[in-house]
Amino acid sequence: GAAAAITERHGGDVPADHAQLLALPGIGEYTAAAVASFAYGQRHAVLDTNVRRVLARAVTGVQYPPNATTAAERKLARALLPEEQASAARWAAASMELGALVCTARNESCHRCPIAA
């Protein structure tokens, strides 16, 4: 799996490069972006269910996102990322937390939302 590949290919160090992360067995776009963003402070759109729900409700006006991540969602998420890497990593984490704690699937708390208009 990924752990063996990291040991064999990278001397036991988790790679910081997004493309190298994607090349690891079992690592998809979400995990590669999350590791690059959260572990290395890089500018990558981290699109989990929570972030997708926040973007759907706050930006596109749709209650729930499609079942699978779309190219349009990826493009939107990248466009909303701050340019500066550290700010982008904080944005990614904050978006996930917003979806997990306030903009939840079953109990949205729009009155508590810091981005509600």
pLDDT tens per residue across span 63-95 = 888 899 999 999 999 999 999 999 999 999 999
Contact 26, 40 (CB under 8 A): no
Q: Domains, the chain, ranges and CATH?
A: 1-42 (1.10.340.30), 43-117 (no CATH)
23-31 long-range contacts (CB < 8 A, ≥24 apart) are 25/1, 26/1, 26/2, 27/2, 29/69
pLDDT, position 107: 83
Categorize the per-residue pLDDT at 117 as very low, low, confident or very high, splitting at 50, 70 and 90: low
- pTM for the model stands at 0.86
| DSSP-derived 3-state class of residue 105 | coil
Dmax (CA) of the chain: 50
Look up residue 90 and give its two tokens.
């904080």
Q: CA distances (Å), 13 to each of 10, 23, 43, 57, 109, in order?
A: 6, 14, 20, 38, 41
Tell me: the pLDDT tens digits for 51-61? Answer: 999 999 999 98
Tell me: the pLDDT tens digits for 22-42? Answer: 999 999 999 999 999 999 999
The rounded distance, in Å, linking the Cα atoms of 117 and 49 is: 22
Contact 81, 91 (CB under 8 A): yes
